[in-house]
A and B are shown apart, each in its own frame.
Chain A
Amino acid sequence: MFYWSLAVEYMKNYVKTKLTYRADFWVELLSDLLFQGVNLIFILIVFQHTPTLGGWTEAEVVFVYGYFMVPAGIFGAFFNIWNFSERYIVKGEMDRVLTRPAYNLYQVLLENLDPPSLFGSLVGLVIMVLSWGDLGLAFHLTDVLMMAVFTIGSVMIYGGLFTALTAISFYSDAPTGILPLMYNISNYGRYPVNIYNKIIRFLLTWLLPFAFVGVIPASYFLGRHEAGLSNLALFTPVMGVIVLGIGLLIWNHGVKRYRGAGS
């Protein structure tokens, strides 16, 4: 209850700041979409030069992309902690967070809410629905349920991974993290993983399981069974719990090591 009221208060605060910088809100919304859209543009450009990608058609790859946008948008709205190290460690704002009674990560996330990002999820859903028709896939009511389950799992994986990566700044005092580079790697989980060699496929499935935020759950709907993809999809929520758990462990352990650096 306490945590819920905190969220509401932070939301109110967010709306107030956005009303101050109104034009920026729209630019941000647009830039979020564009940020997501760049990779869609990549897919569209690439398919002008080739009919299939490792046996997958354009419509299928776009469908996978649509799926990816849904958890990515939710993740972007609630885990917008790209500049964590700069703001909380280097400037020492973590001190302020730690003196308060609510869980520190929860506060940090609330302070950095980015609701416009949710618009990306909406666009992703639209892309999915459109390609659903294009591909002539059968529709079952259970698909809606599965979609919800997969989305939650994917968001947890994404969130857990980036929480763990952000927590690195507690251990090494580097100002510019490896997050931007990691973001690039997260892109590859969206392409049919069968095109990669064993090492990269293993990496994307089990070590940095970005494939669970893209091609694996999407292949459940597409009915692509190669390399057990659609069966793996059912493990998405399990992976989510594991990855988020590991992320929180690393974070909590890191917070204990935190020594205020601010002045």
Chain B
Amino acid sequence: MNSAYLDLIRIRFLMMLAYRVNYYSGIVIYTINIGAYYFLWEAIFGEQKLLAGFTLAQMTTYVAVSWMARAFYFNNLDREIANEIRDGSVAIQFIRPYNYLIVKLMQGFGEGLFRLILFMGPGLALVCLIFPVKLPTDPGVWAIYFVMLLFSFLINTQINMLVGLFAFFVENNEGMLRMKRVLVDLFSGVIVPISFFPGWLAVTMKWLPFQAITFLPSSVFTGRIAGSEVVRVLGIQVIWFIVLIIPIAWVWRQARTRLFVQGG
């Protein structure tokens, strides 16, 4: 049974591989993107050496790594789930001998793995050549970063599932899907590191799961969080991963009695 789930990762990976040309252009666009960010932040820093605890070099690295990480954890599972609920094909999934949500998770993971290897790797290498991005030299930091990246993926996927499953209750949740995407980008710290937020907002963010998606892993990677703090931060991710299982399980149980198929 478990090997079936693993196979799903492989299948999705191969599926993505069929369309790989897209990713070569993606790497170029990503480089331009990071370049524009670099000059933007350079202008923002101006004469100042330190902003919200970041040096310009750290900021560049933070931005480059955060967008790369986003390539890995980002997926459209929310939309996939919502569409399957709307066109009714989720009914078939109910009677199959596997857990639908784990299937989705595995497919998302296959997709992320593909982007990690064919997009993140080459993209980051290219960016390092052109811009002053400083990668950590300590292999320990790399190891812990990859663990945290895995949790970024899990937490982001859980949020996607929750929003996707809402289609059971509201019929059409297109608007919600879009809103969620914007909120996650803003509150996870991809666009601006959370330490730049005004006080009250930064405090609020500490109590929400979004910072665990980008801000915490990228902070560890850029060396702003080090030593025993790393364990605490990893703990926050683990806790959110566990806590988020509860509403998903609840919604999934509710959903079984609520399914009504709209056409299709």
Binding site for B on A (CB under 8 A): 21, 23-32, 34-35, 38, 41-42, 45-46, 48-50, 52-54, 172-178, 181-182, 184-185, 188, 191-192, 195-197, 199-200, 203
CB-based nearest B residue for A173: B19
B171's contact among A21, A46, A49, by CB below 8 Å, is which? A21
A21-B171, A31-B175 as given contacts; A195 in contact with B182, CB under 8 Å:
no
Docked CA distance A25–B178 (Å): 12
Query: Is A54's CB under 8 angstroms from B43's CB?
Result: yes
Q: Which residues of B contact A54 (CB under 8 A)?
A: 43
A50-B46, A185-B29 as given contacts; A177 in contact with B173, CB under 8 Å:
no
Docked CA distance A29–B51 (Å): 35
Docked CA distance A42–B246 (Å): 33
A197's contact among B39, B76, B176, B186, by CB below 8 Å, is which? B39
Query: Is A49's CB under 8 angstroms from B22's CB?
Result: no
CB-based nearest A residue for B32: A185
Docked CA distance A232–B37 (Å): 24
Docked CA distance A34–B183 (Å): 8
A23-B170, A181-B26 as given contacts; A38 in contact with B191, CB under 8 Å:
yes
Query: Is B192's CB under 8 angstroms from A42's CB?
Result: yes
Q: A27-B175, A38-B191 are in contact. List 9 more A-B contacts (CB 8 A).
A: A46-B192, A49-B196, A172-B21, A195-B40, A197-B39, A199-B35, A200-B32, A200-B36, A200-B39
Query: Is B172's CB under 8 angstroms from A24's CB?
Result: yes
Docked CA distance A48–B176 (Å): 30
A31-B176, A200-B35 as given contacts; A195 in contact with B43, CB under 8 Å:
yes
Query: Is B33's CB under 8 angstroms from A181's CB?
Result: yes
21 contacts between A and B (CB under 8 A): A21-B171, A24-B172, A24-B173, A25-B175, A28-B174, A32-B178, A38-B191, A48-B198, A53-B43, A54-B43, A172-B22, A173-B19, A174-B19, A176-B76, A178-B26, A185-B36, A192-B43, A195-B40, A196-B36, A196-B39, A197-B39
Query: Is A174's CB under 8 angstroms from B170's CB?
Result: no
Binding site for A on B (CB under 8 A): 19, 21-22, 25-26, 29-30, 32-33, 35-36, 39-40, 42-46, 48, 51-52, 76, 170-176, 178-179, 182-183, 185-186, 191-192, 196-198
Query: Is A185's CB under 8 angstroms from B33's CB?
Result: yes
A30's contact among B25, B76, B174, B175, by CB below 8 Å, is which? B175
Q: Which of B25, B32, B173, B186 has the most CB of A within 10 A?
A: B32
CB-based nearest B residue for A169: B22
CB-based nearest B residue for A47: B44
Q: Which residues of B contact A48 (CB under 8 A)?
A: 196, 198
Q: Which residues of A contact B192 (CB under 8 A)?
A: 42, 45-46
CB-based nearest A residue for B40: A191
Q: Which residues of B contact A195 (CB under 8 A)?
A: 39-40, 42-43
Nearest CB in chain A: distance from B30 CB, A: 7
Q: Which residues of A contact B43 (CB under 8 A)?
A: 53-54, 191-192, 195
Query: Is B51's CB under 8 angstroms from A182's CB?
Result: no
Q: Which residues of B contact A181 (CB under 8 A)?
A: 26, 29-30, 33
Q: Which of A25, A31, A200 has the most CB of B within 10 A?
A: A31
CB-based nearest A residue for B34: A184
CB-based nearest B residue for A174: B22
Q: Which residues of B contact A27 (CB under 8 A)?
A: 173, 175-176, 179
CB-based nearest B residue for A177: B22
CB-based nearest A residue for B74: A180
Docked CA distance A200–B37 (Å): 11
Q: Which residues of B contact A26 (CB under 8 A)?
A: 175
A38-B185, A182-B29 as given contacts; A31 in contact with B36, CB under 8 Å:
no
